[in-house]
Every structure is written in C-alpha cells, then in structure tokens.
Amino acid sequence: MHLSLSLLKRSLVRNIGIIAILSLILSACGGGGSSSNNTGSSSNPSCTPGSNTKLVKISKAHKIAWSQNALDGAWRFAEEASIEQQAQQHGYQLLKANANNSDVQQVQDIETLINDRPDVLLVDPHTEDAEAKAILDARKACIPVIVVDRDVNESLATPGRDFATFIGSDFNKQGQLAADALIESLGGPSTKATIVELSGTTGSSPAILRGGGFDGELASKAPGIKIVAEQTANFARATGQQVMSTLIQQYPNIKGVFAHNDEMAIGAITALKASGKHPGSDIKVVSIDGTKDAVNLVLSGEEYAVVQSNPRLGPLVFQTLDQYLKGQDLPAWVVQQDKVFKKADGSAAAYLPDAF
C-alpha cells in the first residue's frame, strides 16, 4: 500500500508539471479568448493583412479610427461632436485625426491610423481622388472603411469591395433645391437675370455635385437666368468675402448669388453690403448647409433660402456600423435626408432652435 501511494504521488506531480508547461505554451501562442490585441483581422482570422483583395467582414469592434478632413467652421465642429458623442454612447474607443484641409496630411493621417490597427476606419475625405489609395491600403490591411459626408471617387475605390458604404447627403439634389429656390426668388422660370456662383473646394464631392445639380437645374428650368461667373472660395467665409468683392465690381448688375455653403454666402453678403448693394432686395442669395448664422440671415431677409446639409451624421454612421457588424447587406450609399429653410413659409424660424 505504501509503494502504490508513493507511485501515485509521483504520477500526480508529473502530470501537474506537464499541464503547467502546456499552459505556458498556449499562453505564448495567444491561446484563449481574452486577447486584447485589436488587429484589423482579429475578428476575421482568414484575412491576411497586406494582401487582402476584398472587403473584410467582422462581427465585433472596439477601436474606431476617424479621419476628419478639417475642423474649420460650424458645420465641421457639429459633425465632429456628433461622431464623438455617438462613439462614446456605443462604447467605442475613438482614435481621431484632423487633416486641416490638406490632402497630403489626410493621406498621412490615414496611413498612421492604419498602423494603429483599428477595427474600423471612418474617413471624411478632403477631395474625391487624393484619399482613394489610402482607403485601398486600409482594405489591404483587413480594416473595413466607412466613407462619411464626402464621397471618394468610386472609379478608384468601390463600395462593397474597397469600403463598406458611403454615408452622406445627396449633394446633387442640394444643388437642384438651391436652384429652385433662387429661381423662385428671382420671379420664376421665365425670368431673365444674371447671377454668380461661389463654389467650394476644387475636387471635393460637394463642390462637384452641388455645382452640377445647380447648373443643370437652372439650365433646364430657367434658361433665361445666366451664370456670368463661377469662382471657388474654398468653403471659407473670408475667401467668399474677398471673391465677392471682386466679382461685384466686375458684374455690378447681377441679381443673384449661389454659394455652395453658408460660410461663403455670409462672406458674400458682407461684401455686397460694403459695395452698396442690398442683399435680399436687389440681390437674392441662396446657400447650402443650415448654420445658425445663415438661418438668421434668412430670417432678417438678407438671404432668401438655405438648403440643409445635416452635419449630425453620427447616429446614422453608428447605426450603419451596427448593421455591418451584424452581417447585414449595406447599400452603396446611405442617404442623409435634408430640407430647405425659408422665411416665407416659417420653416427657417421652426428650424432655428436646432441650427448649429
């Protein structure tokens, strides 16, 4: 009995040692389900970073990267706050970068964020073409991308393959709505008048599509209203004022101004008043965004209408992300719905408390 007990003890000690060694080996190899290493392929081990050729599918996320093209006005600050609030509400860690209106900087930002190995990358591209390659790099690194607000050139990066979806407003429709409002303000489709157009950042999707929507609608519905000058003012108030100061000297008899965003319109109104014009009376102004400053100009009568471009994209972005993580099919474009605000119908006054 003593011998059998001694052998049993030695066998038990030997087995405990083997179990301990196996545990150390498994730990060194990353065994177990509590690893905190959030790589882009952590939720999809079949994806090989560096050679991935299609959109990766994941079912969970903890770390979200956010590449913002600029923080330079009420619209951008409202968008940024919306993304931050929704990320916090959903319990995500948010890595942020601000490119300060620079394509070069944003490409560098995206590459840096890719190296941080987020589970998902959100990108609001400065222009359509410049950030496309960096989005492809994220796909190759097994990191799914959602494009927000401004689209990327879809001939260079394809939704459903290179990125999950685009979430944003219908910029072309915004341009059409702006044209309809300006036509109305000038007296209707039979009106004959000259106007100028202040466009946004060259190469950006809102500048391209708002301009295209406006120009097409104007030509088809009111061919007697002619655009005598179109010049970029880079979505900036100060630049809008400078450009308008020059244009009003060159074209003193214009009857209308279309600005691709509110900031440029506000600058233009300042320039028109400084030149002795009376915005809202002898010159009608229409713009796009829906900032509080612009809506107040509508209520004062100095601007005829503002077409909304809602910056509070956070709820729609994270709702769409939840759908993606659940494996639901996403459309190529998730559309943010917008409205038109005027003084005459009371819509501007009703919207003002919610303006940004």
Backbone angles phi, psi at 103, to 5 degrees: -60, -45
- Distance, in Å, from the CA atom of 102 to the CA atom of 106, rounded to the nearest integer, reads 6
User: b/e string for 249-271 if b means 16 or more Cβ within 10 A?
Assistant: eeeeebbbbbbbbbbbbbbbbbb
Instruction: Tell me whether residue 276 is exposed, middle or buried, using C-beta atoms within 10 angstroms of its C-beta: 0 to 12, 13 to 18, 19 or more.
Output: exposed
- Distance, in Å, from the CA atom of 175 to the CA atom of 297, rounded to the nearest integer, reads 20
- Tell me the pLDDT tens digit for each residue of 46-73: 799 988 999 999 999 999 999 999 999 9
Residue 315 has pLDDT above 60, yes or no: yes
Backbone angles phi, psi at 229, to 5 degrees: -155, 140
Residue 26 has pLDDT above 90, yes or no: no
Tokens read off for 39: 């790589």
The average pLDDT across 233-238 equals 98
Tokens read off for 136: 């492809």
- Say if domain 63-169+312-336 classifies as CATH 2.40.128.120: no
Instruction: Tell me whether residue 159 is exposed, middle or buried, using C-beta atoms within 10 angstroms of its C-beta: 0 to 12, 13 to 18, 19 or more.
Output: buried
Residue 251 has pLDDT above 70, yes or no: yes
The average pLDDT across 14-43 equals 39
In words, the CATH class of domain 171-310+340-354 is alpha beta
- Distance, in Å, from the CA atom of 307 to the CA atom of 286, rounded to the nearest integer, reads 8
Give 12's pLDDT tier (boundaries 50, 70, 90).
very low
What are the structural domain ranges in the chain? 63-169+312-336, 171-310+340-354
- First CA to last CA distance, the chain: 86
Tokens read off for 38: 């959030």
Backbone angles phi, psi at 274, to 5 degrees: -65, -25
Average pLDDT score over the chain: 90
pTM attached to this predicted model: 0.86
Per-position DSSP letters for 167-222, written without gaps between them: EEE-HHHHHHHHHHHHHHHTTSTT--EEEEEEE-STT-HHHHHHHHHHHHHHHHH-
- Distance, in Å, from the CA atom of 49 to the CA atom of 42, rounded to the nearest integer, reads 11
Q: Which element (helix H / strand E) includes 19? A: helix 2-28
